[in-house]
Amino acid sequence: MSSSLLNWNIRLQCRAKLSIKEFRSQSSMAYGISFRNCLQSDASRTFRLLRYKQCNSFQAPSSYCNGTKRTPAHSCLQENVTKYFDFIIVGSGVAGLRYALEVSKHGSVAIITKAEPHECNTNYAQGGVSAVLCPSDSVESHIHDTIVAGGYLCDEETVRVVCTEGPDRIKELVAMGASFDYGEDGQLHLAKEGGHSHHRIVHAADMTGREIERALLKAVDDDPNISMFEHHFAIDLLTSQDNEEIYCHGVDTLNTEIQQIARFIGKVTLLASGGAGHIYPLTTNPLVTTGDGIAMAHRAQAVISNMEFVQFHPTALADEGLPIKPMKKRDNAFLITEAVRGDGGILYNKSMKRFMPLYDERAELAPRDVVARSIDDQLKKRGEKYVFLDISHKPRQQILSHFPNIAAECLRYGLDITSMPIPVVPAAHYMCGGVLAGLHGQTNIKGLYVAGEVACTGLHGANRLASNSLLEALVFARRAVQPSVEHMARSSVNTKHLDIWPHPVLSVSLQDSIVEDIKLRTRQIREDLQAVMWEYVGIVRSTNRLKNAEWRIADLELQWEEFLFCRGWKPLMINSEACEMRNLFCCAKLVVRSALARHESRGLHFTEDFPYVEESKRKPTIIFPTSSAKLSWSSRQVHKQLHC
């Protein structure tokens, strides 16, 4: 079996001594794990490999600099550069920015972002942030709602930590200038969304993520110890290995504006790079969301967990149902927030018959996985391409005040949501799995931390409760600070190691016509991969379809790599299109392998061959990488690890 199921409780009851062993398999990737459990006197929740361990392997260079506040833009090819920081952050969403504002009190910080700083999943989050702020609500109730929505696969200690610390994180945002909606009583207006038993969603109309991002970016801009590097595509982590331990020393990036390789060397690296929505053709995620952080961490031998649990948001705007069709296909589907259903929105099929009560007693307020499968079932049974979400029975002014962004977007295409139903369809939205993290965002790689959607903390289990994602990002960004600062204080960087890792090579040595052919072929392969994932690894799955997907993905990857290398491509060669493609392949394979390993239907993973929940399988999926000798080019680090 390529993946293993592991009970979260092991993290609470014992130190699990893990040994990675290679499984012989005819597939392109294989994983193995064996456990030797031992008793312990203290109740530690973490794996041995997640325990924090002091590293004194490196000496500080003579000059540690802050870099520039913004990277300059030039038009010509530049020489490779190396930059030094105490803390390196990949990603400029809520997790990365919040972490940066704390660690900047202790050292120099580089934020590496793939496009503009605001182009991230945070900026597209409409609904809000969940937190217990109402006297009639309770932390225990929030915990219960989270665990129920998560298919009872959540790590209960993580859930308790997040739900308990959440209110303080919200208060910090308010203190930093985030402007949320308030009620007539002068208190924060709290909305209710699917899966929640109380009103606990803090929001800024239907643009909450945008408002949080604005407030955090302003604070970052005002901080002289933080440097923002825009349009820097993270290529691979820089790692070394000393016996069984792996250490992270930074990241190689491609400055896509000036076509320059920029190496960032640091004492601590935080991945906050978001999910992998673009493994599917229809997703609410922005174009930058191609699984870069998950793929880089996997190639660096980080432990990955729960990748089968891909959340499809039930209600993305269905362009086909709009009175005026968009002129071109969107890069990402426009989200119709969960809060519309929470505010009384009703789902109808195209015959205007309400259908959710047929599937769940909670009707439109059922968790997202239930609603998405119900819509999918309606579409397949009726041979239709979208359903309707109707909020028009509510007062016009209430609709416009609660959902101004949605109302404006729909009106652009001739649809007035105050008098007409909204055509909606499910779309890939959120990865509940990712890089396995401990309670402080630590990974099995020393000096590497994760926060936000790239991480699998155990909070979401088999399905994320609405508006828990921004909350998780805020909580874990803060929790990662103290161990990061401690690691930074113990660690240093030796300049003699800087030239050990070979630099990635730009494809400038290839003829322009060949580069264009490669870009065109890569776009075609990308669309083919997305089609396979949508057809075979979607909302409803089966073992046969998953195996078919596994075979087709391996074939596409082989075709693509042969096309590249037959045209002069070299193993160290990179461009942005190729980097994204290899990351999409990596994440797609992780999703398929994890799905094949779960022989039950739980939360977001529903398979026709195992349609019921099985208590014996209430364990997370854990994936260890195999020997690099067994991997395709796409699944290897651009450079090999340095062995100390």
Model confidence pLDDT, tens digit, residues 460-517: 999 999 899 999 999 999 999 999 999 999 986 665 566 678 899 998 889 999 999 9
Percent pLDDT > 70 in the chain is 83
Q: Residue 580: which of 627, 525, 537 has the closest Cα?
A: 525
Q: Which one-letter DSSP state was computed for residue 421? A: P
Tell me what pLDDT residue 532 has: 98
In whole angstroms, give the CA distance from residue 577 to residue 573.
12
Q: What is the pTM of this model?
A: 0.87
Structure confidence at residue 12 as a pLDDT band (50, 70, 90): very low
- pLDDT reported for residue 632: 77
DSSP letter (8 states) at residue 465: P
Report the C-alpha gap between 92 and 90 in whole angstroms: 7
Six-digit token string for 615 = 């208590």
Report yes or no: 493 and 267 within 8 Å, Cβ to Cβ: yes
Q: Six-digit token pair at 500?
A: 């050990």
Catalytic annotation present for 24:
no
pLDDT digits (tens, 9 = 90+) for 413-448: 999 999 999 999 999 999 999 999 999 999 999 999
Indicate if the pLDDT at residue 391 is higher than 90: yes
Rounded alpha-carbon distances, angstroms, from residue 298 to 150, 382, 436, 589, 624: 24, 41, 10, 11, 8
Least confident of 98-107, 138-147, 177-186: 177-186
Mean pLDDT of the chain: 86
Q: Is 534 helix (H, G, I), strand (E, B) or coil?
A: helix
Q: How confident is the model at residue 10 (pLDDT cuts 50, 70, 90)?
A: very low
Burial class (CB in 10 A: 0-12, 13-18, 19+), 186: exposed
In sign, the C-alpha dihedral spanning 118, 312, 456, 139 is positive
The pLDDT assigned to 2 comes to 43
- Paired sense of beta strands 129-130 and 15-19, if any: unpaired
Provide mean pLDDT across the span 597-609: 96
Q: What is the model's pLDDT at position 340?
A: 93
Q: Average the pLDDT over 40-59 and give the result.
A: 31
Q: How confident is the model at residue 368 (pLDDT cuts 50, 70, 90)?
A: confident
Provide the pLDDT for residue 491.
84
Pairing of strands 232-242, 642-643: parallel
Q: Give φ, ψ of 178 to 5 degrees.
A: -65, 130
The pLDDT assigned to 469 comes to: 94
> Over 60: is that where the pLDDT of 120 sits?
no
* pLDDT attached to residue 625: 73
CA dist 51 and 87 (Å) reads 20
Which is it for strands 245-255 and 260-271: parallel, antiparallel or unpaired?
antiparallel
- What pLDDT is attached to residue 580? 97
Q: What are phi and psi of 128, to 5 degrees?
A: 155, -160
Q: What pLDDT is attached to residue 497?
A: 60
Instruction: Mean pLDDT check: name the lowest of 15-24, 63-72, 499-508.
Output: 15-24
Choice among 98, 263, 341, 368 that is catalytic: 368
Amino acid type, 642: L
DSSP state of 125: -
Cα Rg, the chain, nearest whole Å: 24
- Residue 47's pLDDT is 31
- The answer to whether 274 and 268 are in contact (CB under 8 A) is no
pLDDT at 38: 28
Angle formed by the axes of helices 576-597 and 543-565, to 10°?
160
Element holding 118 (H helix, E strand) = none
Residue 112 has pLDDT above 90, yes or no: yes
pLDDT band at 608 (very low <50, low <70, confident <90, very high): very high
| Position 161, amino acid | V
Predicted pLDDT at 196: 92
Cα 434 to Cα 37: distance, rounded to the nearest angstrom: 24
Strand, coil or helix: 374: helix
Amino acid code (one letter) for 152: Y
DSSP code per residue over 22-67: PPP-SSS-----EEEEE--SS---S-GGGS----------S-----
**% of the chain exceeding 90 in pLDDT:** 72
Q: Give the model's confidence band at 209: pLDDT under 50 very low, under 70 low, under 90 confident, else very high.
A: confident
118 compared with 1, residue with greater pLDDT: 118
What is the C-alpha separation between 317 and 427, in angstroms, rounded? 9
User: According to the model, what pLDDT value does residue 32 have?
Assistant: 34
